[in-house]
Chains A and B, each alone.
Chain A
Amino acid sequence: MTTPEIPQRSWSQRWHVKGVGWTALLVALLVGSSKMTGVDVGMFFSNFDQFTNLLVRMSQPAWSYVPIIIQPLYETIQMAILGTTIGTVFAVPFAVLAASNLVHNQWLRGIIRLILDLVRTLPDLLLAAIFVAIFGIGSTAGVITLAIFSFGMISKLFYEVIETIDMGPLEAMESVGASKVTIIWYAVLPQIMNQFVSYFLYTLEINVRASTVLGYLGAGGIGVFLQRSLSEFDYNKTAVIILATLVVVMVIDGVSNHLRRVLL
């Protein structure tokens, strides 16, 4: 019987080269970042009374402001619904073209995915700023911003769903000579419909959150009032707006979560 060999640690393992290296890199990046951003913990605390002053004023919400912001809150939800819907309508064909189990042409798929990746890199407020410049101040810019934002998000979620479907029904229909459109209608759609609707609602939740701040740059909805109250230093109005936004977001989340649970 041979004596069992004790496993030897290599030199790099014994000195934890990897761990030390990653830690050193992280520390260097953090130190560099704090130098660059001028982080000064002391300054935050020396100005803390200003911050608490602001919080104190926000803790006394001006409830009389509530009736004024109901209409813009509705507008915010309406913007989110329309924007998400328009984005979804455009996302569906792109999702089909980007799915590897439906489109076998690698080039076409690659180009479509590149477009989708590029669209997803753009932050929503940045899009809003540009569309306000094009379409002027108002909810049109907001709807278009949300449409593009949800287009990027939904097309990715959708093609990932499409890629997970069971290929059996598709092959069955293909073998009896069904056309592409017929196959998508009878074999693909029934398998993905519920998940599509669920992701649509999820995107709607995110868009309701996003649309509450888009108005800050002039793209309609409650954000316009948010910007106004902040620039007039009416922090008790800001507090009402934030609380109202919170209620709306929670109601929409609740409804959407309930619907999604029914669906799946």
Chain B
Amino acid sequence: MNMQTTMTNKPEKPVHLNPWRRWSWLIWLVLVAGVYTWAITGLHFTGLQESAGSVSKSIVHGLVNPDWAYVYNGSGEDLVSLIIQTLAIALLGTFVSALISVPFAFWAARGEHEWGHLRSGSGKIVLTLIRTFPEIVLAIMFIKAVGPGSYAGVLAVSIHSIGMLGKLFSEAIENMDRGAEEAIVSAGGNSPQVFMLATIPTIMPEFISYTLYRFEIAVRSASILGMVGAGGIGTPMIFAIQTRAWSRVGIILLGIVVMVLLIDTLSEQLRKRLI
């Protein structure tokens, strides 16, 4: 018996059915290079100020020597009061937005029914439109309606957040466990009962968790909405930048950083306990 122990022929080379595949990396390379050439040549970096160096130096100096007197002076226009106001805008805006988002989420969530695709598709488009509408433009529009101040900020946050919360909520509904709903149906429950006894308790923790997550983002946006006049810490920030009061900018930046870090940590702890 002659057993062959060495290979006499090399294995056949793999045949590419599609000859383009071998060269696809080259096409990608050319494409990416093209995009970057377009991007770099399209921008002109001519607007550079000669004072950039000295301005950065004074900014760093201001950041290192913040204006501690601004932290609290009892006028209601100090750092602590305005940070609390910023948090109030974010909290109220997120809460209202969470309430409005629930019907939007049920609209956009894909169900099992045949016609559901049209309904959920239209809901998803509406949510995308809301998400893309710039928040500061919303703020400016609401300032026209209710005047400058934190009320306009609350309205802007509540409407803008629907875009993201509605999307997250609808995905939670699509991925939820249907067991509890089926149990109520098989026990003879009608649809309001199914909704109250099964749907709501099943998705509530996720809804709350997403709302807390959105609150973290709302705190960030509430702190910049003031730049267009919609209340909160953004207003003194933009004034301080425009008047080159860098030690004032320093203390406000510090305040925002501390506020965001605290809120993020708190919200993360709460979310961990929820799910």
Evaluate contact between B95 and A130: CB separation under 8 angstroms.
Answer: no
Count of CB-CB pairs between chains A and B under 8 Å:
162
Contact of A50 among B145, B149, B241, B253 (CB under 8 A): B145
In the complex, chain A residues whose CB is within 8 Å of the CB of B128: 250
Evaluate contact between B47 and A40: CB separation under 8 angstroms.
Answer: no
Contacts A134-B55, A226-B137 given; does A36 touch B42 at CB 8 Å: no
Interface with B: A61-69, A72-80, A167-175, which one?
A: A72-80
Q: Which of B137-152 contact A (CB under 8 A)?
A: 137, 140-142, 144-146, 149-151
Q: How far is the CA of A124 from the CA of B253 in the complex (A)?
A: 13
Contacts A230-B140, A242-B133 given; does A136 touch B47 at CB 8 Å: yes
Q: Does A186 contact B (CB under 8 A)?
A: no
Min Cβ gap B243→A in Å is 11
Q: Which of B154-172 contact A (CB under 8 A)?
A: 154-155
Interface with B: A1-9, A27-35, A91-99, A105-113, which one?
A: A27-35
Q: Mark B95-138, 1 if CB is under 8 A from A, else 0.
A: 10000000000000000000000000000000011001111110
Contact of A54 among B144, B149, B256 (CB under 8 A): B144
Evaluate contact between A30 and B146: CB separation under 8 angstroms.
Answer: no
Evaluate contact between A51 and B132: CB separation under 8 angstroms.
Answer: no
Q: Does B227 contact A (CB under 8 A)?
A: yes
Contact of B144 among A51, A129, A212 (CB under 8 A): A51
In the complex, chain A residues whose CB is within 8 Å of the CB of B89: 33, 37
Q: How far is the CA of A246 from the CA of B95 in the complex (A)?
A: 27
Evaluate contact between B85 and A249: CB separation under 8 angstroms.
Answer: no
Count of interface residues, chain A, beta-carbon cutoff 8 Å? 59
Q: Does A155 contact B (CB under 8 A)?
A: no
Contacts A29-B91, A36-B85, A121-B256 given; does A217 touch B227 at CB 8 Å: yes
Min Cβ gap A80→B in Å is 9
Specify the chain A residue showing the minimal Cβ separation from B150: A37
Evaluate contact between B136 and A81: CB separation under 8 angstroms.
Answer: no
Q: How far is the CA of A30 from the CA of B153 in the complex (A)?
A: 15
In the complex, chain B residues whose CB is within 8 Å of the CB of A209: 132
Contacts A36-B150, A126-B223 given; does A242 touch B85 at CB 8 Å: no
Q: How far is the CA of A143 from the CA of B136 in the complex (A)?
A: 20
Min Cβ gap A16→B in Å is 15
Specify the chain B residue showing the minimal Cβ separation from A44: B146
Count of interface residues, chain B, beta-carbon cutoff 8 Å? 64
Q: How far is the CA of A188 from the CA of B227 in the complex (A)?
A: 43
In the complex, chain A residues whose CB is within 8 Å of the CB of B203: none
Q: How far is the CA of A122 from the CA of B256 in the complex (A)?
A: 8
Evaluate contact between A47 and B249: CB separation under 8 angstroms.
Answer: no
Contact of B145 among A51, A75, A226 (CB under 8 A): A51
Contact of A125 among B59, B132, B136, B141 (CB under 8 A): B136
In the complex, chain B residues whose CB is within 8 Å of the CB of A140: 45, 47-48
Q: Which of A34, A40, A85, A209 has the most CB of B within 10 A?
A: A34
Q: Does A181 contact B (CB under 8 A)?
A: no
In the complex, chain A residues whose CB is within 8 Å of the CB of B17: none
Interface with A: B3-11, B32-40, B65-73, B190-198, which one?
A: B32-40
Q: Mark B222-254, 1 if CB is under 8 A from A, else 0.
A: 011001100100100110010010000100010
Evaluate contact between A123 and B221: CB separation under 8 angstroms.
Answer: yes
Q: Mark A128-150, 1 if CB is under 8 A from B, else 0.
A: 01100111111110010000000
Min Cβ gap B270→A in Å is 10
Q: Does A245 contact B (CB under 8 A)?
A: yes
Contact of B238 among A74, A78, A79, A129 (CB under 8 A): A129
Q: Does A196 contact B (CB under 8 A)?
A: no
Q: How far is the CA of A122 from the CA of B154 in the complex (A)?
A: 20
Interface residue ranges, A against B (CB under 8 Å): 26, 29-30, 32-34, 36-40, 43-44, 47-48, 50-51, 54, 74-75, 77-79, 81-82, 85, 117-118, 121-126, 129-130, 133-140, 143, 209, 212-213, 216-217, 220, 226, 230, 238, 242, 245-246, 249-250
Which 8 residue pairs across A and B have the least CB separation, nearest first? A138-B47, A33-B88, A37-B150, A121-B260, A136-B49, A51-B145, A78-B39, A125-B224
- Supply 24 A–B pairs (Cβ within 8 Å), ascending by A: A37-B149, A43-B151, A44-B151, A47-B146, A50-B145, A51-B141, A51-B142, A54-B141, A78-B40, A78-B42, A81-B39, A121-B261, A121-B264, A122-B253, A123-B220, A126-B223, A130-B249, A133-B55, A135-B52, A136-B48, A138-B45, A138-B48, A213-B137, A216-B228
